Chain A
Amino acid sequence: MSSEAYRAGGLAATRTGSLRDSLAAVGGSYYWELRKLVAQKRSWIGLAAAAIVELVFLISIEISKVTPNDGPYADPMGQGLRHSGLALTPVVLKEIAYFGPAIIAALVAGDIVANEDGGGTLKTILVRSVRRGEILAAKALALFTYVIVALVVFAVTGIVAGTIAWGFHPLANISGTRISAALALALTFAAIAVYAVPTIAIASFGLFLSVVTRQSVAAVVGTIFYALALEGLAALPAIKGARPYILVTQLHAWHGPFQTPTNWTIIGHAIWISVLFAAPPLIVAWIVFRRRDVAS
Chain B
Amino acid sequence: MFDPYYRQPMTQPEGSGRRPVEVRGLVKRYGRVNAVDRVDLTVESGDVYGFLGPNGAGKTTTLRMLLGLIHRDDGSIRVFGRDPAADPVTALAGVAGFIEEPRLYPYLSGRANLELLAALDLGGAGRKEIDEILELVELGDRAGDKVGEYSQGMRQRLGLASCLIRRPRLLANGVDPAGIRFLRALLRRLAGEGMTILLSSHLLAEVQEVCNRVAVIDHGRIVHEGALADLETGGSYRLQATDIARAVDALEPLDAVAGLRRELDELTFTLGGDEDTVELTRALADTGVGIRALVREQTTLEDLFFRLTESDADLREAEAAIA
Q: Cβ of A128 and Cβ of B136 under 8 Å apart?
A: no
Q: Cβ of B164 and Cβ of A6 under 8 Å apart?
A: yes
Tell me the minimal C-beta distance from B48 to chain A in angstroms.
13
Alpha-carbon distance A256/B49, docked complex (angstroms)? 67
- Selected contact of B106 from candidates A10, A119, A123, A294, CB within 8 Å: A119
Tell me the minimal C-beta distance from A120 to chain B in angstroms.
3
Alpha-carbon distance A100/B108, docked complex (angstroms)? 29
Asked if A31 is an interface residue, CB under 8 A from chain B, the answer is yes
Most buried by B among A8, A39, A294: A8
Asked if A71 is an interface residue, CB under 8 A from chain B, the answer is no
Residues of A with C-beta under 8 A to B153: none
Q: Cβ of B119 and Cβ of A31 under 8 Å apart?
A: yes
Alpha-carbon distance A292/B194, docked complex (angstroms)? 34
Tell me the minimal C-beta distance from A41 to chain B in angstroms.
8
Q: Cβ of B164 and Cβ of A124 under 8 Å apart?
A: no
Q: Cβ of B98 and Cβ of A128 under 8 Å apart?
A: no
Interface string of B87-117 (1 = CB under 8 A from A): 0111011111111001111111000100011
A-B pairs with CB below 8 Å: how many? 138
Minimal Cβ-Cβ distance residue in A for B92: A127
Interface string of A1-38 (1 = CB under 8 A from B): 11111111111111100000100110011011001100
Asked if B70 is an interface residue, CB under 8 A from chain A, the answer is yes
Q: Cβ of A11 and Cβ of B89 under 8 Å apart?
A: no
Q: Cβ of B94 and Cβ of A11 under 8 Å apart?
A: yes
Asked if B318 is an interface residue, CB under 8 A from chain A, the answer is no
Residues of A with C-beta under 8 A to B166: 11, 128
Alpha-carbon distance A29/B103, docked complex (angstroms)? 18
Q: How large is the interface on A (under 10, 10 to 19, 20 to 34, 35 or more residues)?
A: 35 or more
Asked if A125 is an interface residue, CB under 8 A from chain B, the answer is yes
Q: Cβ of B121 and Cβ of A128 under 8 Å apart?
A: yes
Asked if B135 is an interface residue, CB under 8 A from chain A, the answer is yes
Asked if A236 is an interface residue, CB under 8 A from chain B, the answer is no
Which residues A28-74 have CB closer than 8 A to chain B?
Answer: 28-29, 31-32, 35-36, 39-41
Alpha-carbon distance A8/B90, docked complex (angstroms)? 17
Q: Cβ of B69 and Cβ of A126 under 8 Å apart?
A: yes
Tell me the minimal C-beta distance from B92 to chain A in angstroms.
6
Residues of B with C-beta under 8 A to A1: 132, 135-136
Tell me the minimal C-beta distance from A119 to chain B in angstroms.
6
Interface string of A116-148 (1 = CB under 8 A from B): 000111011111111100000000000000000
- Selected contact of A32 from candidates B104, B116, B123, B136, CB within 8 Å: B116
Most buried by A among B117, B122, B169: B122
Residues of B with C-beta under 8 A to A13: 123
Residues of A with C-beta under 8 A to B162: 124
Q: Cβ of B121 and Cβ of A39 under 8 Å apart?
A: no
Minimal Cβ-Cβ distance residue in B for A123: B69
Q: Cβ of B108 and Cβ of A35 under 8 Å apart?
A: yes
Tell me the minimal C-beta distance from B264 to chain A in angstroms.
53
Alpha-carbon distance A124/B106, docked complex (angstroms)? 13
Given the known inter-chain contacts A11-B121, A13-B123, A124-B98, please indicate yes or no for A295 contacting B70, CB distance below 8 A: yes
Alpha-carbon distance A174/B68, docked complex (angstroms)? 56
Asked if B57 is an interface residue, CB under 8 A from chain A, the answer is no
Residues of A with C-beta under 8 A to B121: 11, 128-129
Q: Cβ of A8 and Cβ of B93 under 8 Å apart?
A: no
Alpha-carbon distance A32/B68, docked complex (angstroms)? 23
Q: Cβ of B193 and Cβ of A6 under 8 Å apart?
A: yes
Tell me the minimal C-beta distance from B284 to chain A in angstroms.
50
Q: Cβ of A39 and Cβ of B133 under 8 Å apart?
A: no
Given the known inter-chain contacts A6-B190, A295-B69, please indicate yes or no for A123 contacting B167, CB distance below 8 A: no
Asked if B120 is an interface residue, CB under 8 A from chain A, the answer is yes
Q: Cβ of B105 and Cβ of A36 under 8 Å apart?
A: yes
Asked if B204 is an interface residue, CB under 8 A from chain A, the answer is no
Q: Cβ of A127 and Cβ of B67 under 8 Å apart?
A: yes
Given the known inter-chain contacts A124-B102, A124-B104, A127-B97, please indicate yes or no for A6 contacting B136, CB distance below 8 A: yes
Alpha-carbon distance A124/B70, docked complex (angstroms)? 14
Residues of B with C-beta under 8 A to A2: 132
Given the known inter-chain contacts A7-B193, A124-B102, A125-B117, please indicate yes or no for A130 contacting B122, CB distance below 8 A: yes
Alpha-carbon distance A236/B95, docked complex (angstroms)? 56
Minimal Cβ-Cβ distance residue in B for A295: B70
Given the known inter-chain contacts A10-B168, A124-B98, A127-B95, please indicate yes or no for A39 contacting B107, CB distance below 8 A: yes
Q: Cβ of B122 and Cβ of A10 under 8 Å apart?
A: no
Asked if B64 is an interface residue, CB under 8 A from chain A, the answer is yes
Minimal Cβ-Cβ distance residue in B for A9: B167
Residues of A with C-beta under 8 A to B102: 124
Given the known inter-chain contacts A121-B105, A128-B117, please indicate yes or no for A35 contacting B112, CB distance below 8 A: yes
Known: A35-B108, A129-B89. 12 other contacts (CB 8 A): A2-B132, A4-B132, A8-B168, A14-B89, A21-B122, A121-B103, A124-B104, A127-B68, A127-B92, A293-B69, A293-B71, A294-B69
- 23 of the cross-chain contacts (CB-CB < 8 Å) are A3-B193, A6-B167, A8-B169, A9-B167, A10-B93, A25-B122, A31-B119, A32-B116, A35-B112, A39-B105, A121-B104, A123-B99, A123-B103, A124-B102, A124-B103, A124-B104, A124-B117, A126-B88, A128-B166, A129-B93, A131-B89, A294-B64, A295-B69
List residues of chain A with CB under 8 Å of any chain B CB: 1-15, 21, 24-25, 28-29, 31-32, 35-36, 39-41, 119-121, 123-131, 293-295
